[in-house]
Structure 1
Amino acid sequence: MRIVIVGAGIAGLTLAAALAKAGRRCVIVEQAQDFSPVGSGIRLAPNATRLLTGLGLGPALAEASSRPLRRDILGWDDGRLLHSTPLGDEAEKRYGAPLLTLLRSDLHRILLDAVPEGTVRPGRYVTDVLENSDEVTLRCSDGREFHGDVAIGADGVHSSLRALLRPGRYRASGQAVYRGVVPADRRPAPEREPRIRIWVGDDRNFTDYPVSGGRLSFSATVPAPSPGPGSWTTEGRIAALGRAFTGWDERLLADVPGAEWVGLWELNEHDPVPAWTTGRVVLVGDAAHPMLPYFAQGADQAVEDAMVLAEFLRYADALSVGRALAGYAEARRERTERIHALGRRALRAFTEPAEGDPEDRPALLGDLERAETEWIFGHDAGAEAVRRARRLNRPR
């Protein structure tokens, strides 16, 4: 069966690696000409690390990542501990897989190394999709065409494939996020303990956590700023961060002046995509369900999507593609929509002014976390996919 994937990000590469393990070849069409490092960090929860370990990537992930011991919610002004969640060995024992933090570029490298050489075709931007009962054709801006029995849109929140099929609606959230990487080797020893720290205040918050090489990745969510002098440079963004968090705990920005780089992105709220498949075309990851970052499940759900779709395609042939894609969408839609809704709830909890006592906010965040963590972290998407795919393909 001919499989064409659009996008060599987390979803696309995980899918290609899973297909290769199952003996299926594919081609990935990627618009970027080369893969320049992306410096921001990423958190992989147990529901994703369990699946990636199953692909044989556990040792590479362990070498490139940090294992935070806990997640602390801190007072915005003085950094006092307001709420703490144990991670590290306790989380691994509870969920059967670790929670890891690492650079997105390191995860991308690990996944790229896991796919067969020649799988990725860079510098190809898809401009048109033609689908009939026999095949799907992807036309690229350079005139090249790719033909397949199935085409998979794994090209992220700005998916060209989704836009060509059924554009989704979105609106500005009113928030923007600064992301960067800073050295942490000059910190006092007590401050070097590996943990996720979250400072929360009205309409803004700041998070940091360790990654490889003695560095910290940080993200700072603020009301979306108007472009100003220097807003396109790292130096200008560092200055803007200082202004945005004036009066906050002094530890929060202590390392930011040494940032290797700082990026700025506006955050949009996307409505769920009405349908993920049109017969021979299907969407995965952010192309199917763009998520706000507040529940930190975007990458994890991309991995889950990829592993579930790979399992359904494992049983499919050119004549049964539509049934396999419909089975995948049915298996994934309810879970991703629920997590999508949680992201919106978390946006409100993290950024809207607290009603009553501001000290109640961490307890509300803790309640949200406890209510859903078991259901999210403890889920084995791979095992569920095996059950569903085998049931779908059982002789009738």
Structure 2
Amino acid sequence: MSQINKVLIVGAGIAGLSIAIALRKRGVVVEIFERTPELSEVGAAISVAPNSARVLLSFGFDPKRARATDAGPQYEYNKDGVVVDSLDLRDIVRDVGVPWWFLHRADLQFELLRIATSDRDESWGPPAMLRLGFNIIRVDCDSGVIVSDKGERFQGDLIIGADGVKSVIRQEITGRMDEPSVYSGHSAFRSLYNIEELKADPELRVFVNEIKMEDWVGRDGRRCLLYPCRDNTLLNLFAPVFWEASQSVESWRANGKASDLAEKFKEFPKPLQKLLFPGLWQIRDRNPVHGWHKGKALLIGDAAHPMLPHQGQGGAQAIEDAASLPIFLLDTPPDMSLAARLQRFEEFRYPRVTAIQERSRQQKEGPKQREDSEAWKC
């Protein structure tokens, strides 16, 4: 079989940095190519359930450095503000012996970057090389060569496409242009709030009087999810609503008005209405990708299995990909071909990620659904 000594990773998000760490731990030389000229603090919060927290800890992840907030109780309210369900996530943590964190996505990304690029012990490979401002536009799957928009060529033993839902590498592997993503019927308003400022407001301090997750659920899929992050200094808001006007827009972001959101939640308690002044983010959907690999190229994360957000497992499944792949690449019989190893990886991961994709499509997650979900239990 061909030796995997050098791997080129396209994309420096959660998936790309996680697989860089996992391979570097096994002594592999890793280069990461990121289209943007710098990694900036963008995005909102992310729930890191025990299935992914377990993997992160094995990487040497430092939750204090990443300013993680430990999960607490979760409450579900109806539109009248009455608690209809609850679940203490700390009970799950005690049962499985692994933390459950709320993190700002940027804090997670920068901690992964630190692990990927800093000096480690001798058993690890050299620090990953991060190449910023490299827009990869083409990959030769047979030769393991990627080409930038400036004509620069780089070669590795394996190319990993971790370039997200609009993956360029996916098009090269499948040999066809992507079908347009399908509007899921929902858009989400997202925002972050300074918790100290909320505490100073008599009407809003109720949302931050303890470390908790609140899930306000109304009719027609209207929902508002609140939870803290960044050492309990920021409150994350995620409010998916049915939004017919957005169906024709091929974008994950669109302009939204606070008045539009207020109209959707006008039956909810006034303190919650007062909180709702964020921007609109479309929830778009893609069908599962069949065929994650071709030649010396492989897809992971959202490039292979984009997720709707209702299970909170998009980032977690990318991290699970990273934990699994080195086993199939490096712990296989010496006569096994690269194609066979990559196919075994896909066959191992495909049932789990597609089941979570489908569950996310069907389900609007609350405490009961979170308790029943198998996703976080890996």
Q: Which residue of 2 aligns with 1:252?
A: 272
| Count of residue pairs brought into register by the alignment | 347
1:99 aligns to 2:100 (yes or no): yes
Cα 1:189/1:173, change in 2 over 3 Å: closer
Structure 1 stretch displaced more, 188-197 or 78-87: 188-197
1:31 aligns to 2:35 (yes or no): yes
Cα 1:79/1:171, change in 2 over 3 Å: same
Q: What residue identity is the alignment partner of 2:89?
A: L
Q: 1:345 aligns with which of 362, 367, 375?
A: 362
Cα 1:310/1:238, change in 2 over 3 Å: farther
Structure 1 stretch displaced more, 276-285 or 247-256: 247-256
Cα 1:267/1:39, change in 2 over 3 Å: closer
Q: Which residue of 2 aligns with 1:201?
A: 218
Gaps in structure 1 of 5+ consecutive residues: 351-361, 380-396
How far apart are 1:118 and its partner, in Å? 5.6
Deviation per CA, 1:119-172, whole angstroms, max 9, x where unpaired?
21111112112132xx31111111111111111110111111112322454321
Q: 1:192 aligns with which of 167, 191, 209?
A: 209
Q: How does 1:1-396 map to 2 (within 5 A)?
A: 1-60=5-64, 64-76=67-79, 78-88=80-90, 90-116=91-117, 119-132=129-142, 135-166=143-174, 167-169=177-179, 170-185=181-196, 186-187=198-199, 188=205, 191-203=208-220, 204-212=222-230, 214-224=233-243, 226=245, 237-256=257-276, 262-315=278-331, 320-346=337-363, 349=364, 366=368, 368-372=369-373, 375-379=374-378
| Aligned mates of 2:137, 2:113 — CA distance in 1 | 24
| Aligned mates of 1:331, 1:250 — CA distance in 2 | 48
Give the TM-score, by structure 1 length. 0.81
Give the TM-score, by structure 2 length. 0.85
Is the Cα contact below 8 Å between 1:24 and 1:314 reproduced in 2?
no
Gaps in structure 2 of 5+ consecutive residues: 118-126, 200-204, 247-252
Structure 1 stretch displaced more, 242-251 or 311-320: 311-320
Deviation per CA, 1:2-44, whole angstroms, max 9, x where unpaired?
2111100001001111112221111111111111111411100
| Aligned mates of 2:318, 2:207 — CA distance in 1 | 35
How far apart are 1:83 and its partner, in Å? 0.7
Q: What residue identity is the alignment partner of 1:144?
A: E
Cα 1:281/1:223, change in 2 over 3 Å: same
Q: What residue identity is the alignment partner of 2:137?
A: T
- RMSD between aligned residues: 2.4
Q: What residue identity is the alignment partner of 2:73?
A: R
Is the Cα contact below 8 Å between 1:294 and 1:343 reproduced in 2?
yes
